[in-house]
Amino acid sequence: MSYNVEEMSWSDARNLLRKWRDDNERKSDEVMQLWDNVLSSKQSKLGNERHLVLEQVIIAALDCNRIETAEHCVSILSAEFPGSLRIQKYRSMLLEALERYDDALDELEQIIRKDETNAAPRKRKVAILKTQGRTAEAIKELCDYMKIFMSDQEGWHELCNLYLAEGEYAKAAFCMEELLLHNPHSHLIHQRLADIRYTMGGLDNIEMAKTHYCKAVKLNVNNLRALYGLFLCCGHISNSKLVIGKRKEAQKLAQWAMAQIQARTQPTAKDTKGAIKTGKSKAAGCEDELQALEQAFGGLDVGKVAN
């Protein structure tokens, strides 16, 4: 949505910023336009919302690389609230934008020492360490954070990403298992845990991956990635040295998964003539992919699907 900033009154601009705060929308470019053209000279009229608007402008200015504007707003708030930990956090964000990472970390350490239950500075510290490429230190800091804030799902996601970046797949799987405790009905979490187990390799991990892929497909049958993963896991199991019963079960499950994949990737009969031509080329591509999969798994006949 476009806004005619030049014709907007200060009260309209204030109400618009309030709406974005309530809706948790950043809209940094629009915020800076309203600040430059309307509100920067009308701060005294903002009343009790003045400090909230200044905080909103600080975040927008940092997003837009308007360092001077951010410094100006931080200096105003620092003069009015000299001992505020909240303003100290904005100072650390400003230092981070200036790439003065060591100074920013010192500011964050001071905040943590004064308030150990404050989650925001701990997260910013992890973000700075990650930005500097100090992944091992970021992992240690985030582990300390998770010991205090164990129900933070975003923290478990980030810790999983960091472990994956370091190739620590077993620890990454543990993080996803913790997330399953918080959200057991998320097909995406089951899928990602299965991806990690499949990457780890080994028959035990492949069987665990198959279990989570099955759960992901049960929760969302349109999850193509989980269907492909299920097919691959079953292919490995059917060609393994497990008992014949498990291999036959895996072969049937692989055939079912391929049937579901084909049903969701082949064109429908309602296509127009032009779309049918495109569909034929896509179908030919699917046939090529099917043949490649059959060659990869040898005796597993994925082309014949029982009705």
Token couple for 270: 């309602």
pLDDT per residue of the chain (307 residues) written in tens, 0 to 9? 456 776 778 888 888 888 999 998 888 998 898 888 888 888 888 888 889 999 999 999 999 999 999 999 999 999 988 888 889 899 999 999 988 999 999 999 999 888 888 888 999 999 999 988 899 999 999 999 999 898 899 999 999 999 999 999 999 999 999 999 999 999 999 999 999 999 998 889 999 999 999 999 999 989 999 999 999 999 888 887 877 888 888 888 888 888 888 888 876 655 544 555 555 555 555 566 555 555 544 444 444 443 3
Alpha helices in 64-84 (DSSP H): 67-80
- The gap between the terminal CA atoms of the chain, to the nearest Å, is 51
In this prediction, residue 307 carries a pLDDT of 35
In this prediction, residue 251 carries a pLDDT of 85
In this prediction, residue 239 carries a pLDDT of 83
**Contact present, 291 and 283 (Cβ < 8 Å):** no
* Domain 83-149: assigned CATH number: 1.25.40.10
* Nearest to 110, CA basis, from 77, 79, 87: 87
In this prediction, residue 306 carries a pLDDT of 38
CA quadruple 164, 166, 168, 171: dihedral sign: negative
- Listed in sequence order, the residues at least 6 apart from 245 whose beta carbon sits closer than 8 Å to its beta carbon are none
In this prediction, residue 277 carries a pLDDT of 54
Structural domain boundaries in the chain: 7-82, 83-149, 176-264
Which amino acid is located at 78 in the chain?
Answer: S
Estimate the crossing angle of helix 50-63 against helix 10-22, to 10 degrees: 70
Q: Kindly indicate whether the domain formed by 176-264 is annotated with CATH number 1.10.20.
A: no
Rounded to two decimals, the pTM is: 0.76
Angle, CA of 269, 271 and 275, to the nearest 5°:
130
In this prediction, residue 83 carries a pLDDT of 83
Token couple for 146: 């998770």
In this prediction, residue 241 carries a pLDDT of 80
Q: CB count, 10 Å around CB of 97?
A: 17
Identical fold for domains 83-149 and 176-264, yes or no, is yes
Say which residue the tokens 């964050």 belong to: 108
Report the C-alpha gap between 302 and 286 in whole angstroms. 13
